[in-house]
Amino acid sequence: MATLPFVKMHGLGNDFVVVDARADAAPITPDLARAIADRHRGVGFDQLIVIEPPKDKAADVFFRFYNSDGSEAGACGNGTRCVAQRVMAERGADHLAIETIAGALEATRRPDGRVTVDMGPARLDWRDIPLAEACDTGAVPVELGPLSRPVATSMGNPHATFFVADLAAIDLAALGPKLEHHRMFPERANIGVAQILSPERMRLRVWERGAGITLACGSGACAAGVAAVRRKLIAGRKVAIVVDGSTPGDPASEIEIEWLRDGHVLMTGPTALSFTGAWPLA
């Protein structure tokens, strides 16, 4: 029986099925992605990531992302970090140039084992996110229940970040899907809800477009960090972000975000290998 080999990885509980299609093309379809994503009858994942040969000669590798609903995603920060770590280890390298449908990314392996990904520039214009109409992306006129006026950011995919005083009081499972499909977001949006803990730390939960609530969201953390700087809610341009998958009291289990002066966003965090397997194609 023909099979599709895969690796299961996660970044702080944000989990991925990784398929290497550099030597042989992988027959990934929306139906197949949904079948593998089924956590009861399949493997289960937040995103499926396919490693492909690069189209651009300046890149080492091409990453393609699929959501658990079978739709293709433009970016996945935690997934990029995990797969980059695996490819860098395979190559014996500490740097990797990555090509995606949303643009070029760069990954660096740090001495402590964590991986930093340059997620490229945060896009802040309403047309780039995109939004349905012109508005101030620092305070988008969107409201639902206790959530209002988010900061909109594109990290290769659209994000809306809401700031609240008490994150535990927010029913993200109820509000997330409605906001994802709000008329202001013609391509839907990832919905982040954040609480400032200190001038250097914040707490974040994300309803991911096409995936639902995940234990961590790398591009969502990038968007939240940028949003906090724009709102002047943190000191400087670097912030540690506590996600659902973080271990209480362990700074190494948080996502570190830095918004550079040139507009690029650096994301640093841990990666982990769960297991390997093969999916039957028949």
Catalytic residues: 76, 217
Please check whether residue 200 is in contact with residue 239, taking contact to mean a CB–CB distance below 8 angstroms.
yes
Please check whether residue 131 is in contact with residue 124, taking contact to mean a CB–CB distance below 8 angstroms.
no
Question: What tokens were used for 25?
Answer: 């093309």
Alpha-helix residue ranges (DSSP H) falling in 181-247 = 218-230
Report which of 118, 122, 112 is spatially closest to residue 77, judged by C-alpha positions. 118
Bond from prior residue into 130 cis (ω within 30 degrees of 0)? yes
Measured CA to CA, the distance from residue 223 to residue 158 in angstroms comes to 9
Cβ within 8 Å of residue 62, ≥6 positions away: 51, 52, 53, 54, 55, 98, 99, 100
